[in-house]
Homo-oligomer: A and B are copies of this chain.
Amino acid sequence: MSDTRGLLIVLSGPSGVGKGTVRAAIFKNNIYNYVYSVSATTRQMRPGEVDGVDYYFTSREEFEELIEEDALLEHAEYVGNYYGTPIRAIEDNLSKGHDVFLEIEVQGAMKVRERMPDGIFIFLAPPNLNELESRITGRGTDNQEIIYERMQKAREEIDMMKHYDYVVVNDEVDCAVNKVNGIIQSEHLKVSRVVDQIKLQIHNYFQKGE
């Protein structure tokens, strides 16, 4: 009994929480064969990066065409470069029954939610804010004011948690990975996702006997 359509899984959370680390750990083994949603970007390819694996590298013109065609689930501009999530590959994979995994910052996730409300939205949270502060501080030699600003931003981002389905506290990477996998596998067991197939089975059984 398997679903016909895959699930869209969106992993998000405040910056500094370790989204990338958890996502990388999930895809290291990838025991459930999730398909990773590759983003499009206009930034330069870096050494070691592969087009279509790390990103779809596009020109500014191509990217603006994608925006124009409404072919992106969400997009944003950082430091003069565009980043966005192409819908097409996601839809193709979902309709083939593959679970598609998206790792994205909080604002982007909220835009995805509007377009794909059936997705499973998982918020990765810091074990506590003191921990988040020390991670942010540990990154460099920012002054107190900048740290305070970042913490205020984290507060705002954590406040977005209420728009998500699940919260996973990133206290330990392995533990967070197990929780994310557990959520996805349990979502597949929801009655609404399997009820049609079971009805069909019952129908077939009683037809056989008649």
For residue A1, CB closer than 8 A to chain B, the reply is yes
For residue A166, CB closer than 8 A to chain B, the reply is yes
Interface residues of A in 147-177 (CB under 8 A from B): 148, 151, 155, 158-159, 161-162, 164-169
How many residues of chain A are within 8 Å of chain B by beta carbon? 36
Q: Are B182 and A164 in contact (CB under 8 A)?
A: no
Once bound together, how far apart are the Cα atoms of A205 and B126, in whole Å?
13
Once bound together, how far apart are the Cα atoms of A165 and B193, in whole Å?
10
For residue A29, CB closer than 8 A to chain B, the reply is no
Identify the interface centre among A190, A195, A198: most chain B CB within 10 Å of its CB.
A198
Q: Are A166 and B195 in contact (CB under 8 A)?
A: no
Contact with B along A32-53 (1 / 0, CB 8 A): 0000000000000000000000
Q: Are A191 and B205 in contact (CB under 8 A)?
A: no
For residue A95, CB closer than 8 A to chain B, the reply is no
For residue A81, CB closer than 8 A to chain B, the reply is no
For residue A202, CB closer than 8 A to chain B, the reply is yes
Known: A125-B198, A202-B158. A186 touches B182 (CB 8 A): yes
A residues within 8 Å of B by Cβ? 1, 123, 125, 128-130, 148, 151, 155, 158-159, 161-162, 164-169, 179, 182-183, 185-187, 189-191, 194-195, 198, 201-202, 205-206, 209
Once bound together, how far apart are the Cα atoms of A195 and B162, in whole Å?
7
Q: Are B182 and A165 in contact (CB under 8 A)?
A: no
Apart from A129-B201, A182-B186, 5 more pairs, CB < 8 Å? A151-B209, A158-B198, A165-B190, A165-B191, A166-B191
